[in-house]
Structure 1
């Protein structure tokens, strides 16, 4: 009896295992039927390779170019051949070339490709005498620097003495002890507070003074000009440089300066040397009768 009970159980288990193996094999077969063949996989791989080949070639070429560029940059920025040996300067009038080289701040031997021309230009233009600068590399080992200097047209009193250009813009404190401002007219009558409050308006007044000064200096027979004073009522008075003589041109000085100055010339020619030496004020500001000229001598009319 024990053996009979065991045998069916064992057989049943074997049949269950065979059924399971059969079902598993059928599933595997179905999966295999859906998988591509080895030849199909190889063909697809070949096709993908052919499609990817141009891209791979492009990547390889770009990598090669990048590598070559990196090598070239390394050589250009490290080779002694490109070390700055000369800084050629042009456009100097007041400034000396050595001063401009010092302002450029480029140390000899610096690699020319490591020099930033724009940065050098900005350094140069910080100097008040340099209105504009151009900087360019000159291969293999030089820099070309070209500058345009500011030209002082007048000395302007704004609480201190400043040099101003022809546009009426003060650009630096005047170093009178070093000769800056020599031979230039002095413009007075503009307060520092006025300039700070309205720079454009103050510059226009300075240009007006310069125009009148230019008109006066067109004749060498007139006493040398020292100062152009702008009054609060816009009246203009000129002061001679070498004698205590004032020319009051009035508020209409810039409307017909040549006519007023021609009237002064006629009056000045009519004076003998002693009278000229004693003349203190020449009044050319009679608006009612512009042809009337009054000369004050030594404190009397």
Structure 2
């Protein structure tokens, strides 16, 4: 099991230049046929943020932030990592079917394909991290040394996505409906994460239950990093749980891929 995982990581590292080039090409090709091109990668998330800001910040006014932050600051610091997660998961899950011609090439190492999708979505994510920092500064939240922790939580999210997409991408050729399941699950999971609500709104027992979702650690970590509210080691127990869960998923993902890979050509 451990050997399979190390083999995966080694292959990605050895092919890092190819991964980078593939991700750039994928990012460009995604909007190549449209009039506005790659601007759609930024327009869609911006419209979503503005919609939530209007509905919850000015419409419902449900007191989601307990008045501690301007709603736009609270919203964007939580929703930016969620955009990266959801976009990467949906695109990487379908990667083997999208690159069928590469899957059928014996000489091409298809292990790297899910990673290229994650990296392709990273370019948009970095742009929104920059925008979020500007919004925080305009609202009086100046970056500090704690803001550098964004790199750590970005690594956490990348590792989690890698393990998860190894699983979903390997299953998708045999179960095409997995994309529909993921779409439904994503709609539900988002509301269980501190994206549009604050943990202080719930009882400690409810919050402990919600923390079972490993993404809770990442979303809350992003927000605390943007707002300089603490260090990641202050949540050592939650961090330990996250990494145990993530490493387990990486191991399972590497095994599933290894066992299903020989049959990809038969079903694609």
TM-score band w.r.t. shorter chain: under 0.3
Flag the structure with larger Rg. 1
Could you say which structure has the greater relative contact order, defined with CA pairs below 8 angstroms and 6 or more residues apart?
A: 2
TM-score by length of 1: 0.22
More strand by share: 1
TM-score by length of 2: 0.24
